[in-house]
Amino acid sequence: MGQEIIRRESPIEPGRRSRLWIYEDVIHVLKNNNGTKIVEGIMLNIPIQKVEHLSAEAFSKMKNLRLLKINSEKLPEDFINGSMQLPKDLIRGKVQLPQGLIYLSNELHLLEWHGYHLKCIPTNFQLNKLVELRMHCSGIKQLWNGKMNLDKLRLIDLSDSQNLIEMPDLSGAPKLKQLIFRHCTRLYKIHTSLGDLKQLIRLDLNGCKCLKSLPHKISLEALEIFDLGGCSRLKKFPEIFGNMSCLSKLCLSETAIKDLPLSVEHLIGLIELDLRDCKNISTLSNACCHLMSLKILTLSGCSKLDELPENLGNIKGLEKLDVSGTAITGLPLSIVYLKNLEVLSLRGCVGLSSKSFKSS
């Protein structure tokens, strides 16, 4: 019924409707540049193997556009399962802008554009009303220069944007809650303004293989999830400064870190610590034994780790401990105090002997 109400706004010309979601209608409006200020929302799903070319002025007349979503249709299950082959350059549908893009509405609240291939967003586009920015698999190299007024911005997701090299100045986005740069493999520079994000809940840098360092100190008091898994060049985890009691999950798997700072003991709300495949870790900091909320500790694949802290038993709430594939030759006597331990994985610990399990 709602769709019919929208259609009746302009039965003949879709460019005079407030919302556009039918593929043929959206393409008609964008290719003929006959959108109007009446259009407030556009949702476009590009069919697989389809490439649509738009002019630089495709959105120039839609001054009140508040929602723009351009995505590719999902791949068929047969392709995902490996039983179907498609040409690599035409696997997913996409929009091409041969002359670039000169305009986007300053009224945009949500911008989601999968495969946006340009290196930046229009320089005259004001982001002060934007709430969510999602641009997976984009060609963006740098989002913006300098400080922007982003008071309403809550989420930035640039996952799989292979050309992104640095995180922009985020000091103008004090209410940002989620910052997601998963698999941005060329990202190497983190702006110091990251430490100003007092409302940030999720920070996801998983798979950022060129990332070598983070700010020396962090104090993200609202942070709940911090994912650095797969940051294979990251050698040092920053000092914890101030209150970060909300952090419940810290993933450092496959990083190059050698140890954790003593200040990690301030993460009093930490539930899960993932150090899987950290090949440079040879000892586990005693500070970890002060994490009384910890339930899951994953150390599998830490091939240089040859012992566990003697006071490991202090982590009374620990439920799962995975040390498979490590070089440990024994277990600390205090392990008998882990009354809540449900899973203990020792697979591949070739240095262990039966004597290792004798208690005092």
In this prediction, the residues of the chain whose per-residue pLDDT falls under 70 are 10-11, 74-91, 353-360
Structure tokens at 212: 């070598």
Burial of 158 (0-12, 13-18, 19+ CB in 10 A): buried
Task: Report the 10 Å Cβ neighbour count for 149.
Answer: 12
CA 295-232-343 angle, to 5 degrees, is: 20
Cβ atoms 305, 283 nearer than 8 A: yes
**Owner of token pair 């007024």:** 149
Q: Which two tokens stand for residue 177?
A: 């809650």
> Taking the model in full, what pTM does it have?
0.90
Query: How far is the C-alpha of 224 from the C-alpha of 244, rounded, in Å?
Result: 9
**Can you give the pLDDT at residue 250?**
97
Architecture of domain 258-360: Alpha-Beta Horseshoe (3.80)
CB of 295 closer than 8 Å to CB of 320: yes
Q: Look at residue 24 in the predicted model and tell me its pLDDT.
A: 93
Q: In this structure, are residues 149 and 171 in contact, taking their beta carbons and an 8 Å threshold?
A: no
The whole-angstrom separation of Cα 47 and Cα 53 is: 14
Closest C-alpha to 227, from 201, 207, 257, 204: 204
User: What is the tens place of the pLDDT at every residue in 174-207?
Assistant: 999 999 999 999 999 999 899 889 999 999 999 9
Q: How far is CA 299 from CA 239, 314, 332, in A?
A: 21, 17, 15
Q: Are 354 and 331 in contact (CB under 8 A)?
A: no
pLDDT of residue 4: 75
Q: Do 292 and 311 touch, CB atoms closer than 8 A?
A: no
Report the pLDDT value the prediction gives residue 80, as an integer from 0 to 100.
Answer: 47
* Structure-block tokens of residue 268: 């009093």
Degrees, nearest 5: CA angle 140-144-150: 120
What token pair was written down for 29? Answer: 């409006």
Domain range list for the chain: 258-360
Q: DSSP labels for 173-192?
A: -TT--EEE-TT-TT--B--G
